[in-house]
Amino acid sequence: MPETGGGNPVVIFDGDCGLCQSSVQFMLRNDPREVLRFAPRQSAAGQELLVRSGFADASPNSVVLVEGNRASTQSTAVLRIARYLRFPWNLAALFTIIPAPLRDTLYGWVARNRFRWSKKAPACRLPTERERKRFLDAG
């Protein structure tokens, strides 16, 4: 079982997606308490967490947030992630009042078009040593 950073929430993202990578960079900048941890779904830690949380068959188009024994996907994961971000981004969590099927329709549209809108960068920005500790497979 992969180490989850002392029970910290883990964001499992598509490491081949430019939009997903940009989103992780955004979370790194806007998580002032440095609570969130990250694992690409293509990594051993990401795969192990997906299996452990019951989302091994989750769509590769979905972000997964693992918080202890709870896991969320799609728009619910995004809005739960927002709770960890600095103001004003944490206010996005208020959108949970919108029924999940409606939110997930919008999420699905973005997920289906993400490769068209954002190309994978030829070279990713290397994380700082401090940031590297927040990635489960970075050692």
CB 69 within 8 A of CB 9: no
Distance separating alpha carbons of residues 41 and 38, to the nearest angstrom: 9
Edge-to-edge order in the sheet of strand 10-13: 37-40, 10-13, 64-67, 70-73
How does pLDDT run along the chain (139 residues), one tens digit per residue? Answer: 344 445 899 999 988 888 888 899 999 999 999 999 999 998 999 999 999 988 887 777 789 999 998 999 999 999 999 999 999 999 999 999 999 999 999 999 988 887 777 665 555 666 778 888 898 875 4
CB 14 within 8 A of CB 59: no
The per-residue pLDDT for 1 is 36
Residue 79 in tokens: 């809005």
Distance separating alpha carbons of residues 138 and 118, to the nearest angstrom: 24
